[in-house]
Amino acid sequence: MTATTLTKPASIDLAGLDEEIRRHLHYTLGYHERDVSPRYVCRATALAVRDRLVGSWQQTRDAIRETDQRRVYYLSLEFLIGRSLSNAIQNIDLDGPAREALHQYGLSLEEVAEKEHDAGLGNGGLGRLAACFLDSCANLKLPVVGYGIRYEYGMFHQHIENGRQVEDPDHWLRDGNPWEMERPDEAQNVHFYGYTEHYRDDEGTPRCRWAGSHDVVAVPYDMPIPGYRNKTVNTLRLWKAAATDAFDLEEFNSGSYPEAVASKNMAEQISMVLYPNDASENGKELRLKQQYFLVSASLQDIVKDWVEKHGDDFTDFGKKNCFQLNDTHPACAVAELMRILLDQYQMEWKQAWEITTQCMAYTNHTLLPEALERWSVSLFSRLLPRLLDIIYEINHRFLVEVSKKWPGDVARQRRMSLVEEGENPHIRMAHLAIVGSFSVNGVAGLHTELLKSGLFQDFYELWPEKFNNKTNGVTQRRWLAHCNPGLRDLLNETIGDGWQTDLSQIEKLRPFAEDAAFRKRWAEVKLQNKRRLIDYVRQTTGIEFQEAALFDVQVKRIHEYKRQLLNLLHVLNLYDRIQRGDTAGMVPRCVLIGGKAAPGYHVAKMIVNLINNVASVINADEKANDLLKLVFLPNYRVSAMEVICPATELSEQISTAGKEASGTGNMKFMMNGALTIGTLDGANIEIREQAGDENFFLFGLDAAEVSETKKAYDPNKIIAGDEEIQRIMAMIEGGRFDAGCPGTFNILTAGLRNPYDPWLTIADLRDYIDTQRKVDAAYKDQESWNRMSILNTANSGWFSSDRTIQQYADEIWQAKPLG
Ligand SMILES: *Cc1c(COP(=O)(O)O)cnc(C)c1O
């Protein structure tokens, strides 16, 4: 699909882009004109576009360095960026010249752009949020730097073999990364292992230092984050691990040269691979190394910059700097800043603690207890001995405060301690983050309320003023303007283009919901987007979706709490009805499910397996196919979502209430005019409030009812009392999808039937099936459906990450835009 640009033609440096692409092809990459392939042209174009960012990038860096305003550092183990080329072209208004230049190679911008490898440096929502936030910070000209890890291997590539997920490594840097700039002169040393040494300084004061450590070098690679047509280019700094020059010098000298060279790999391993676990704890030593590596390199970088300007006067450090911790993954930052101030700048504890708690802010992303990070004290003391001392001291002083507030309440002290006592004691990273931060935020209204009344209730009672909500958002520049050019052009023509930098303006669309001619154009855009997805599904799976069908989509990480199984049970209900001839009121549906399961998460992998096996049976049944198709789309990622969300008509947001912190996929779909079928969970609640109850398909238990139901849950009774549900269970349990291996899916059916099933899938199934019938009825009336679709987009203004970031800037960071 080619897009026409209705906005003003590109203004900056119109001439010469084709010349620069040619130059990079020839001189930088060493290719001759006659063997141009789209892949080479993609790299050359990226380099030519990057050249045009360099000036503003330099200026923004200088402006941030010179500003007297507060600077913000977004610390995150994940940045799920996806592709950068078309985003950069859009943001610096080069669309016209780029198309013209590429035309000479007989290539469209889309063909070239899709050769770029996704930067998959994240698992899912948390990493994508970090990427949307950086885009919004640049759009708002805020002095914010992102800090992360330059993983050699990002999120694994997923393919399906015999219905099962297979993981392949994602060597995204194989062809080089045209966006990054290595800055070896700004490398930092990071300590590991060793021990704490006590000594007296020249004045005789007792001091500590970290001695006998094995050091690893952190080398920064900078990526540009271009703002939208505002001359701002912010920085994402990613650290790569390398061996120090002094690495095992003794081994070199003692004749074990090859062994010594080989052991350099030990250092380089730290930034080798992203841990593919979404919302689950991971106790591996290498993971803690990654966390500390990011934190220590970033803090040293920032402190060095401070000292260059202010010497060792840290009086204003806390006022002028702010660290936003994306979940507990970088929570070591609390102890690391203390270490730098105490050990390197000889500060007194009281002042160091005041500074630290002035500049740390923590965002919580999950209510799942199994996702709360804990590190064993024995690992901590071996790997980060000096940090553990500091954590113990923080804990000691903190528990004194707790016992002052609640004298004699030993149970509470035990609950709140940074150390979980027991045979094998652990450090609770969330407690460290809360105690060390001035701000603790959740990511949707319900999530924040549940943190205050549940997981963090003790802390809320101690420090209510720390707690606040920042409902997530997504950037409309990637998730509407870029990925849905048809809708972008229709919006620009209808309400102007102000929504691209101020999504609240999208409300101007509301009156057009009543305009039949406009609804027709709206439907035409959706149809074009459905055709684009039909092609994509055919190319990746060989299955043919029908353009007249309802496009029903659930894409997200595979997790029991997200309940892809609930979706599948409904698909089986439809299939059963078709086979029985009970198709009255049924609308043709194409159901698409996609997402990666963590490689070690067995149940999630079995869910992927069952979806694929059910899809094989349904898609092979020609009698069913006019009414129903099911596809499991392999390798869900950012660039896939850019094709999926513009074509989606029904967005499945069906997690067990109280489990999904926010969700952001739900927002991308809403912006693109999908209607949501969902539970009262995470940001769904706010989506329904904004869209209007009548434009949202609500079903299921709410969070309070979930707690109540769990007290006496009897799924087998529900199944026995509901004939349709009985038939669904019988289809799976009867072995129709086992592909010759009886009992393969027992683990899933046993889970559904378990009275202690935490996800209450069977409890919500009847209401879900009934609500899906209402969806069918609503889809039959296309005029009304399109009206609701327009109103969803028109009411999506609240879900821009620009709004979210403005709230972070005003209410947490106290940050002002650069002049
Ligand atoms: C938006 C997005 C997510 C988050 O989806 P949820 O439905 O909120 O879990 C995950 N992965 C990718 C690639 C995304 O673009």
DSSP code at position 273: B
Q: Tell how strand 550-555 and strand 650-653 pair up.
A: parallel
Read off the DSSP letter of residue 509.
G
Catalytic residue (choose from 71, 365, 577, 659): 365
Cα–ligand 1 centroid distance for 128 (angstroms): 7
For residue 258, the model assigns a pLDDT of 78
Residue 417: other Cβ atoms inside 10 A: 18
The backbone torsions φ and ψ at residue 50, rounded to the nearest 5 degrees and listed phi first, read -60, -40
Which numbered atom of ligand 1 lies nearest the CA of 653? 7
Residue 744 is encoded by which pair of tokens?
């393969």
Q: Which residues of the chain have pLDDT under 70?
A: 1-15, 246-254
Q: Determine which one of 478, 532, 557, 688 is catalytic.
A: 557
CA of 464 to the centre of ligand 1 (A): 31
Tell me what pLDDT residue 257 has.
77
CATH architecture, domain 68-82+118-366+439-447 = 3-Layer(aba) Sandwich (3.40)
Here the tokens at position 2 are 């080619």
Counting ligand 1 atoms within 8 A of each CB, the residue from 81, 87, 123, 128 with the most, and so the one to mutate, is: 128
- In degrees, rounded to 5, the angle at the alpha carbon of residue 523 between the alpha carbons of residues 541 and 578 is 50
Angle, alpha carbons 189-195-197 (nearest 5°): 100
Q: For residue 3, give the nearest of 488, 638, 479, 480 by alpha carbon.
A: 488
Q: What is the CA(476)–ligand 1 centre distance, in A?
A: 15
Q: Is 289 a catalytic residue?
A: no
* Helix/strand/coil for 140: coil
Output the CA 491–ligand 1 centroid distance in Å: 25
Domain boundaries, the chain: 1-66+93-108, 68-82+118-366+439-447, 476-805
Examine the residue annotation and report whether 284 is marked as an active-site residue of this protein: no
Q: DSSP of 291-354, one letter per residue?
A: HHHHHHHHHHHHHHHHHHHHTT--TTHHHHEEEEEESSTTTTHHHHHHHIIIIIS---HHHHHH
* Closest residue to atom 15 of ligand 1, CA basis: 638
Residue 556 annotated in active site: yes
> Mutation test of ligand 1: which of 135, 480, 559, 664 has the most ligand atoms closer than 8 Å to its C-beta?
664
Instruction: Please say whether the structural domain 476-805 has been given the CATH code 3.40.630.30.
Output: no
Nearest atom in ligand 1 to 80's CA: 13
Q: Find out whether the beta carbon of 122 lies less than 6 Å from any atom of ligand 1.
A: no
Question: What was the pLDDT predicted at 4?
Answer: 40
Q: Is 589 a catalytic residue?
A: no
562 is annotated as an active-site residue: yes
| Ligand 1 touching residue 663 (CB < 6 A) | yes
Nearest residue CA, atom 3 of ligand 1? 125
Q: Are 20 and 48 in contact (CB under 8 A)?
A: yes
Average pLDDT over the chain reads 95
Best mutation site among 483, 555, 651 for ligand 1 pocket (most ligand atoms within 8 Å of CB): 555
Q: Which amino acid is at 686?
A: E
Question: Rounded to whole angstroms, how far apart are CA atoms 453 and 451?
Answer: 6
68-82+118-366+439-447 against 476-805: fold identical: yes
- Among 386, 519, 605, 668, the one annotated catalytic: 668
Q: Among 556, 570, 596, 605, which one carries the catalytic annotation?
A: 556
Report the separation in Å between the CA atom of 608 and the middle of ligand 1, taken as the mean of its atom positions: 17
Asked whether 678 lines ligand 1 (CB < 6 A), one says no
CA of 126 to the centre of ligand 1 (A): 8
8 A C-beta contact, residue 288 and residue 386: no
Read off the DSSP letter of residue 15. T
Query: What is the rounded distance in angstroms from the CA atom of residue 595 to the CA atom of residue 11?
Result: 40
Q: Which of 141, 150, 562, 637 is the catalytic position?
A: 562
Alpha carbon of 226 to ligand 1 centroid (Å): 22
Q: Please name the residue that has the structure tokens 């849950």.
A: 713
Q: Is the CB of 662 under 6 A from ligand 1?
A: no
Which is catalytic among the residues 664, 679, 761, 793?
664
Give the pLDDT of residue 5: 39
pLDDT for the residue numbered 27: 94
CB atoms within 10 A of CB 516: 9
Residue 665 Cβ contacting ligand 1 at under 6 Å: yes
Ligand 1 atom closest to 668 (CA): 1
Neighbours of 350 (CB within 10 A): 9
- Among protein residues, the one with the nearest Cα to ligand 1's atom 10 is 124
Q: Whose CA is nearest to atom 5 of ligand 1?
A: 665
Ligand 1 centroid distance, CA of 664 (Å)? 6
Nearest to 652 by CA among 623, 620, 674, 685: 674
CA distance linking residue 473 with residue 133, whole number of Å: 8
Closest atom of ligand 1 to CA, residue 662: 8
Q: Which of 563, 641, 651, 654, when mutated, tests ligand 1's pocket best, judged by the most ligand atoms within 8 Å of its CB?
A: 641
The residue whose C-alpha atom lies closest to atom 9 belonging to ligand 1 is: 556
Residues 364/446, Cβ–Cβ less than 8 Å: no
| Three-state DSSP class for residue 550 | strand
Tell the residue number behind the tokens 């509901």, with chain if given.
722
Ligand 1 close to Cβ of residue 559 (< 6 A): no
- 275: amino acid identity, one letter: Y
Mutate to test the pocket of ligand 1, among 121, 126, 556, 637 (most ligand atoms within 8 A of CB): 556
State whether the beta carbon of 120 lies less than 6 angstroms from ligand 1. Answer: no
Under 8 Å between Cβ of 715 and 755: yes
Nearest to 342 by CA among 351, 330, 334, 333: 351
Reply yes or no on whether 52 is catalytic. no
